[in-house]
């Protein structure tokens, strides 16, 4: 399982541990990933995703998964998130 957010593409970063003696050793900063079920209003079902805490706050801020995916860039989304985005667009066109 990769440590990459499915909605924002946020992944591990690298940096240094710096000791009191100013010795530097490599380290990784991992994103705060959570397994969540997000409710899609258009599809009427829950979708399980592994997203960062920052992405979860962004989804809430934008008003839900459907609105978040509508504004999200396709390059940042995972394959599973792209599939859900296309399902939502298809369902919205069918109801309109």
Predicted confidence at residue 96, as pLDDT, reads 76
Q: Which domains does the chain have, with CATH numbers?
A: 13-95 (2.30.170.40)
What is the rounded average pLDDT of the residues 58-74? 95
For residue range 12-44, list pLDDT tens digits in order. Answer: 999 999 999 999 999 999 999 999 999 999 999
SS (H, E, C) 35-63: EEEEEECCCCEEEEEEEEHHHHHHHHHHC
The model's pTM = 0.86
Q: Taking a C-beta distance cutoff of 8 angstroms, is the pair 36, 48 a contact?
A: yes
CA atoms of 83 and 39, how far apart (whole Å): 15
Predicted confidence at residue 2, as pLDDT, reads 85
For residue range 44-62, list pLDDT tens digits in order. Answer: 999 999 999 999 999 999 9
Q: Taking a C-beta distance cutoff of 8 angstroms, is the pair 88, 61 a contact?
A: no
């Amino acid at each position: 399982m990769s440590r990459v957010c499915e909605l924002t593409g946020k992944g591990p970063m690298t940096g240094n541990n710096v000791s009191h003696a100013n010795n530097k050793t490599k380290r990784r900063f991992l994103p705060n990933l959570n397994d969540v079920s997000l409710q899609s209003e258009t599809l009427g079902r829950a979708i399980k995703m592994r997203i960062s805490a920052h992405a979860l706050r962004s989804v809430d801020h934008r008003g839900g998964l459907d609105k978040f995916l509508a504004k999200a860039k396709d390059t940042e989304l995972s394959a599973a998130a792209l599939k859900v985005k296309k399902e939502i667009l298809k369902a919205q066109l069918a109801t309109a």
